[in-house]
Chain A
Amino acid sequence: MKAREAPLISVRGLGRRFGTRWVVRDLSFVLMPGVILGLVGANGGGKTTTLRMLAGLTRPNEGEGSVWGRDIYRLDRQARRDIGYMSQRLSLYPELTVRENLAFRGALLPPPSRPTIDLAIERYGLSEVLDTRFDLLSGGWARRAQFAAVTLHSPRILLLDEPTAGLDVLTRQTIWHWLSEFADAGHGVIISTHDLAEAERCAYILHYADGRVNGPMPPAALVVEAGAASLEDAVIRLATRR
């Protein structure tokens, strides 16, 4: 990671429990500009909770941290302007067309200028489905529209919860191309995924198991640490190791 630049996200000892069960504990990492950080691990391991804490949707129970210089416990409106959060669900309004959904987003997030929306339409190739209701789109088109909505305000940080789940290989390739472009522009990306081939494309990964977090480290380092032959093998070994 580039040491001289200010980190986009910095957290130390972050934890969150639901009831008495700790879903995430001892989470510490720094996200520098230009970096894609992958979150891998079993379902229920705490990846979504991590993304929600960073997006200001879930309050941590312990630890400290900052997102783009702002206290993670008090992420104000300005901080939210610097974050683009995409949930697992295709969470745009199903009854509205793609154009209406983007216009709504544009109205909430400065700058709501028309050129910005037009640019997003062109960038994500949405012109042919612009007047189609969101609930009538295929999974791939719906993700494209969601990407356009999430990046409309040019956020500094993208928090993506399994954005490629259920998509065909071409759409996944396209999405990774966008993510690389986004990171190359000096922004930061945190992406949760179950696809370990995708995880290998990340500069660093965090591995979640039993509420504990391993990393961040390059994917190859996790393979070495687990004494495995591949990242998939490493994740399986770590998940079954007690």
Chain B
Amino acid sequence: MRASLRATIAISRVELLRLLRSPTSFTLLLLVPALQILLFGYAIRPTSAAVAVAIAGPPAGQADIARLARDAHLTLVAQNLRPGGARAMVEAGKASIGIELPIEPFAPVRAVIDASDPNLTAVAEQKVSAIYWQALAERNEVADIGPRLQIDRLFNLDARPDWAFLPALAGTIIMISMLMLGTLSMARERETGTWETLASLPVGRVALLAGKTLPLALVGTAQGVIVVGLSILLFDLPVRGSIAALLVLFPIFASAHLILGQALAARARTQLAALQGAIAFYLPAMLLSGFLYPFSTLPVWAQWLGNLFPLTHLIRAAREATLRGGDAGAVLLQGASIVMFLAVTLLAALAQYRSRLD
């Protein structure tokens, strides 16, 4: 019994020492929670401050609605638009809420809401209702006498959360798998020594990188096709825009994350350190991309940060191609940022390959 206790204490002591003397494991324990605390504490605040509102209709009453919108912590991006102008801004993705004030006395106030993100829809509908009731109260009107409120949801009539979630899921699955595949494949090559051998052979860096990336990028593309295909077949996800353009983006998006994973692993000494780098990348990407929380409710600095992640743009592209009915141009426009990210990771990986084993 005593021997067993002594053994337990000895093993525990060694385990603790190993942990304290391994900077990678220790950092892993500190970095990820620190990242979560910072992101959840500062960035993931469901604030409506950045939710964009546009107001159209007759000038009378616009100033009051604009004031109430500001009081409700919404961001007014346009007012005094011609009738239909607010709706057009929501359709173009320039505003999340469009308020169309009635021209005729007994016509309803129409609030057009971008429902492609149901989380945002709930916030927007709540805010619009609050503004409506506040406006009525200020005019000493009641709902029966004053104009009625009619809410029109665009892109996702029933605000189905699965319709918003599924296109975004394609990007998230590709991102995590490709980062892991890229990281582990390179880390394994380094640990088994095959990387050292490859580096000694007369193989150019570009051929090396392309050869290691292309087959896995095809796997990532297949993942995206399967997720979108199953979403259409099983969950009636509408395809209103250019799905072909989205399919063009999948291999670019997959390659960007594969190469990032390879660059991380080429830099790191162990698989664990490389995985830590991958986690430190994809955790904020998931939180700040609009996958888990509505992008437009994030603080401006968090949105700026979120725009650096390719996932943010792939989610937008996927929603354009499915829910929003974006044409090839609108979908591929989101791809520009992904291509830029790919170029940066490519340069970083080539620089890593240049240094080879030093």
Contacts and interface: CB of A to CB of B under 8 A. Distances in A.
Interface of A: 52, 55-59, 76-81, 83, 85, 87-94, 108-109
Nearest to A18: B358
Given A81-B202, A88-B193, 19 more contacts: A56-B200, A57-B196, A58-B358, A77-B204, A78-B202, A80-B200, A80-B202, A83-B200, A85-B197, A87-B196, A91-B192, A91-B193, A91-B196, A91-B197, A92-B194, A108-B202, A108-B203, A109-B201, A109-B202
Is chain A's binding surface mostly helix, strand, loop or mixed? loop
B268 to A, nearest CB: 18
Central interface residue in B193, B201, B204, by most chain A CB within 10 Å: B201
Interface string B193-216: 110110111111000000000000
Given A87-B193, A94-B192, A55 B202 contact: no
A92 B197 CA distance: 8
B146 to A, nearest CB: 73
Is chain B's binding surface mostly helix, strand, loop or mixed? loop
Nearest to B199: A57
A83 B199 CA distance: 12
A76 B202 CA distance: 7
Contacts of B357: 52, 57-58
A85 B192 CA distance: 15
Q: Lowest 9 A-B CB distances belong to which pairs?
A: A91-B193, A89-B193, A77-B202, A80-B202, A85-B200, A91-B197, A57-B357, A55-B200, A81-B202
B356 interface: yes
A77 B199 CA distance: 11
A81 B203 CA distance: 10
Nearest to B356: A57
A94 B185 CA distance: 13
Interface in B302-358: 356-358
Contacts of A81: 202
B210 to A, nearest CB: 13
A55 B201 CA distance: 9
Contact of B194 (A55, A56, A79, A93): A93
Contact of A91 (B194, B202, B203, B204): B194
A59 B358 CA distance: 7
A80 B193 CA distance: 18
Nearest to B197: A91
A87 B200 CA distance: 10
A92 B202 CA distance: 16
Contacts of A56: 200, 356
A56 B200 CA distance: 7
A144 to B, nearest CB: 16
A108 B197 CA distance: 12
Interface in B258-310: none
B200 to A, nearest CB: 4
Contacts of B194: 91-93
A108 B200 CA distance: 11
Contacts of A89: 192-193, 196
Nearest to A149: B197
23 contacts: A55-B200, A56-B200, A57-B199, A57-B200, A57-B356, A57-B357, A57-B358, A59-B358, A77-B203, A80-B200, A80-B202, A87-B196, A88-B193, A89-B192, A89-B193, A90-B193, A91-B192, A91-B194, A91-B196, A91-B197, A92-B194, A108-B203, A109-B201
